[in-house]
Structure 1
Amino acid sequence: MKRLLIDGRLVETEKTFPSLNPATGEVLDHAPDATAADAEAAVAAARRAFDTTSWATDTARRLRCLRQLHRALTDHQEELRDLTIAEVGAPRMLTHGPQLDEPIKLVPYYTDLLEKYPLTEELGESEIRGQRHRRWVEKEAAGVVAAIIPYNYPNQLALAKLVPALAAGCTVVLKGAPDTPLTTLYLGELIAEHTDIPPGVVNVIVSSGVEAGEVLTKHPDVDMITFTGSTATGRRIMEAASATVKKVFLELGGKSAMIVLDDADFRAASMFAAFTICSHSGQGCALTSRLLVPREHHDEIVAMVAAGLERVSYGDPTDPKTFMGPLISERQRDKVDAMVQRAVAAGATLVTGGKRVDPGFFYTPTLLADVDPAGEIAQDEVFGPVLAVIPYDGEDDAVRIANDSIFGLSGAVHSADAQRAIAVARRIRTGTFSINGGNYFSQEVPFGGYKQSGVGRESGVAGLEEFLEIKSFAVVVP
């Protein structure tokens, strides 16, 4: 059984909870169930480490420890890969990309950035009332960070929060998701056993209930919260953090639209849409789950997308040829299926899919046509392999429909004219955008959303700056 990491010690708990293999529904192992007291201890350790050690000011020490972390991750990469496949249900091929291999690259990216990032900026001198005043700005660590992650990409999300926070000089309490606790706890064990990161600088906990999370969001000794998850939970976290005016980073839900313009290669766009929505069984906040197509080409494109979905291989995630694995839980599959059934009842056409597959928590790639852009299936996040096709009348109408959402995380556009596509992309209010299949997912590219998709950015230089405070200085020049 994995253990919590609190104040440099790997800790067992009296109470545990099961982690299931979503491809079989069987118990994979049991995880320690952190209590509110465990969360309190983790926060106290992080506070002490920030306030009484040199971690926040010793850049050389942080660089050395982060490089040790990178070496530990690469040395144990295949063990972590197998665990990710088993617990997350991620297909093996996906672990060679955003589920594991790409996230590990975040570590050297931020060590390289830290070496060259200017933590001090001179603003020059100014004469005020006959005296010369030198002014400058210094950037310093935000303090104790509570990092709370969901189940869908646990390695990516943990490292995208943990690594820049550590590079900035923060101390961290990382809380893993109850559906994928073992993967996150393994990261804590690597830190404890293979790095010189001081006790208290990184603490890793998981829990089956809400008590530990509530401690993190409300605790006065936590300076900043970085959270990825649903918009509903993000609202509650922002409200809880307001009592102590914590700095808050939120990466929340999405209902992103892919616009196929009338001059696009319909077949290529259709295949892109089909395979995108099935990536990790649709369990990605930035996936384009709305497909906007010219009304006069609706049926033609629907047929092409359906053919693409039929080509998606789903099943055993350990098989290197499998493209799509299971949903994370029976609960999530029930939610997805219920939304599909309600969409059909509301008038959408079920073209293909909409079926449960056992054993495990599989759901067939699903296509809904003639979807009302104001309906639930077009407005709410499904988090499953369900694509809603919406017809539009002209470019302006497509932009209007794409922007008619409380979310603004991502989007895509396909056109034979790249400049036309870019012009449309600039009219969509989202934080990331793919043009003709362009891939923005990378260590150096900021990621985050507009509107109720969140506050702030992860990855890139912006991802480091989220964990920094700005202090301005002025001194009278003799």
Structure 2
Amino acid sequence: MKGLLIDGQLVEAPRTTVSLNPTTGEVIDEAPDATVEQAEAAVKAARRAFDTTDWSTNVEFRIRCMNQLYEALVKHREELRELTIAEVGHPRVMTYGAALDVPIEIVKYYTELAAGYSFTEDLPETESHGMRHRRWVEKEAAGVVSAIIPYNYPTQIALAKVAPALAAGCTVILKGAPDTPLVTLALGEIIANETDIPAGVVNVITSPSVEVAEVLTSHPDVDMITFTGSTPVGRRIMEVASKTVKKVFLELGGKSALIMLDDADAGMVALVATMTICSHAGQGCAVTSRLLVPRERQDEVVEAIKGVLANIKVGNPADEDTYVGPLVSAKQREKVDAMVKRAVEAGATLAIGGEKIDPGFFYTPTILTNVDPDSEIAQDEVFGPVLAVIAYEGDDEAVEIANNSIFGLSGSVIGADDDRAIAVARRIRSGTISVNGGNWFAPDSPFGGYKQSGIGREMGVVGMEEFLERKTLAVLVR
């Protein structure tokens, strides 16, 4: 069993929870279930480390520690790969990208960014009352950060929060997801054992307890919250954080649309739509789970998708040729299955899929056609391999349907002409848009959403600046 990282020490908890392998449903290991007192101790340690050490001001030392973290992650890459496959259910092929290898590079990106970043900015001298004044802005660490992550991409999301926070000079309490605690605890072990990051700068806890989460979001010693998860939980965090007016970053739900323009190649649309909705069994907030197609081409595209699905393997994520692994839990699979059944009852047509596969928590890739754009399946996040196909008439209606959502996280447009596709993409109110298969995901690419998909941006330069405060100073020129 891995330990919690609190104030530089790996410690046990008086209680534990089990982590299940979603491929088999069997127990992998037990994980410590942090108490409220341990969560408070983690906050206290982070506060002390921020207030009494030079972590927040010693950029050179931070860079050295982050280089150590990057090297340690590279060193333990293969161990982390096998743990990620076993606990998260990521197919092996995905660990070479967004599930593991790209996230490790996030640490390198922010290490290099911090090394070249100017934490001061000069403003022009100004004259007031016959005197000259020199002015400048200093960019300072926001303080103690609570970082709360979900189960679906635990390494990527953890490092997209911890790395820029450390680069900015913050101290952190990282809370792993209840369904995937072991991956997050492994990061804590690496930090404790293989870096010179001072005690208290990074604390790592795991617990399914709501009370523990409330400590991290309500404690007066926490200056900032960075949260990735569902929109309902994000609303609750905003409510709790408002009592002490904390700085809040939220990356929340999505119901992103892929728009097929009337001149698009059906084969390309089918490939992009299928590979996206099947990625990590649809357990991604930025997944394009709505496919908007010209009404006269709906049958053509659905048949093309079926053809692509025939060549996609659903199975053991440890196998090199598997693309669709399991859902994270039996509970999540039941949720997905119930939403599909309700969609059919509401009038959608089940074109393919809609079946559970045992053992483990597998669900077949599912295509629903004749979907009402206002229905539950078209409006609510499923977090499973379920694609809702919606017919439209003309570009204006396609854009209207795409924007008919409380969310605005991602999206995609495919058409024969790049300029036309880009013009349509610019009308969609979403934080990221892929045009004709373009890939926006990288450490330097800001990620976040419009509307109820969140507040702020993660990754890129702005991803570090989320963790900075700006102080304007002026001195009289004598």
Q: TM-score range by the shorter chain?
A: over 0.9
Alpha-carbon separation, structure 2, partners of 1:330 and 1:3: 26
1:49: which partner in 2?
49
2:286: which partner in 1?
286
Tell me by how many angstroms 1:422 deviates: 0.3
- Per the alignment, in what secondary structure is the counterpart of residue 278 of structure 1? helix
Consecutive unaligned residues in structure 1, runs of 5 or more = none
**Deviations along 1:222-254, whole A, 9 cap, x unmatched?**
000000000000000010000000000000000
1:230: which partner in 2?
230
2:298: which partner in 1?
298
| Larger deviation, residues 427-436 vs 295-304 | 295-304
Alpha-carbon separation, structure 2, partners of 1:345 and 1:383: 20
Structure 1 residues 101-250: aligned runs within 5 Å: 101-250=101-250
**Deviations along 1:205-226, whole A, 9 cap, x unmatched?**
0002211110000000000000
- Per the alignment, in what secondary structure is the counterpart of residue 444 of structure 1? coil
- Per the alignment, in what secondary structure is the counterpart of residue 259 of structure 1? strand
- 1:404 correspondence with 2:404: yes
- Per the alignment, in what secondary structure is the counterpart of residue 264 of structure 2? coil
Tell me by how many angstroms 1:465 deviates: 0.3
- Per the alignment, in what secondary structure is the counterpart of residue 207 of structure 2? coil
Tell me by how many angstroms 1:371 deviates: 0.3
Tell me by how many angstroms 1:311 deviates: 2.0
Task: Letter of the 1:312 partner, please give it.
Answer: I
1:343: which partner in 2?
343
Alpha-carbon separation, structure 2, partners of 1:81 and 1:300: 39
If the length of structure 1 is used for normalisation, what is the TM-score? 1.00
1:466: which partner in 2?
466
- 1:332 correspondence with 2:332: yes
Alpha-carbon separation, structure 1, partners of 2:373 and 2:88: 32
Tell me by how many angstroms 1:68 deviates: 0.3
Alpha-carbon separation, structure 2, partners of 1:321 and 1:232: 36
Tell me by how many angstroms 1:365 deviates: 0.4
**Deviations along 1:106-140, whole A, 9 cap, x unmatched?**
11111111111111111011110011011110100
Task: Letter of the 1:67 partner, please give it.
Answer: N
Alpha-carbon separation, structure 1, partners of 2:161 and 2:53: 21
Tell me by how many angstroms 1:97 deviates: 0.4
Consecutive unaligned residues in structure 2, runs of 5 or more = none
Alpha-carbon separation, structure 2, partners of 1:10 and 1:271: 46
Alpha-carbon separation, structure 1, partners of 2:302 and 2:93: 27
- Per the alignment, in what secondary structure is the counterpart of residue 444 of structure 2? coil
Alpha-carbon separation, structure 1, partners of 2:118 and 2:63: 15
**Deviations along 1:249-291, whole A, 9 cap, x unmatched?**
0000000000000011111111110111000000000000000
**Deviations along 1:51-110, whole A, 9 cap, x unmatched?**
000000000100000000001101110001000000000111100000000000011111
Tell me by how many angstroms 1:308 deviates: 1.6
2:362: which partner in 1?
362
**Deviations along 1:306-346, whole A, 9 cap, x unmatched?**
22222221100110110110000000000000000000000
**Deviations along 1:18-64, whole A, 9 cap, x unmatched?**
00000000000000000110100000000000000000000010000
- 1:97 correspondence with 2:97: yes
Alpha-carbon separation, structure 2, partners of 1:310 and 1:387: 16
Alpha-carbon separation, structure 1, partners of 2:36 and 2:231: 24
2:32: which partner in 1?
32
Task: Letter of the 1:286 partner, please give it.
Answer: A
Task: Letter of the 1:134 partner, please give it.
Answer: R
Task: Letter of the 1:2 partner, please give it.
Answer: K
1:419: which partner in 2?
419
- 1:253 correspondence with 2:257: no
- 1:67 correspondence with 2:61: no
**Deviations along 1:420-458, whole A, 9 cap, x unmatched?**
000000000000000000000000000000000000000
Alpha-carbon separation, structure 2, partners of 1:83 and 1:305: 32
- Per the alignment, in what secondary structure is the counterpart of residue 2 of structure 2? coil
Task: Letter of the 1:476 partner, please give it.
Answer: L
2:319: which partner in 1?
319
Residue identity over aligned pairs, in percent, reads 69
After superposition, the CA RMSD in angstroms is 0.5
- Per the alignment, in what secondary structure is the counterpart of residue 54 of structure 1? coil
Alpha-carbon separation, structure 1, partners of 2:165 and 2:209: 26
If the length of structure 2 is used for normalisation, what is the TM-score? 1.00
Task: Letter of the 1:147 partner, please give it.
Answer: A
Corresponding pairs, count: 478
1:428: which partner in 2?
428
1:10: which partner in 2?
10
2:77: which partner in 1?
77
Alpha-carbon separation, structure 1, partners of 2:258 and 2:90: 24
Alpha-carbon separation, structure 2, partners of 1:419 and 1:237: 40
- Per the alignment, in what secondary structure is the counterpart of residue 99 of structure 2? coil
- Per the alignment, in what secondary structure is the counterpart of residue 134 of structure 1? strand
Alpha-carbon separation, structure 2, partners of 1:293 and 1:54: 56
Structure 1 residues 428-467: aligned runs within 5 Å: 428-467=428-467
- Per the alignment, in what secondary structure is the counterpart of residue 5 of structure 2? strand
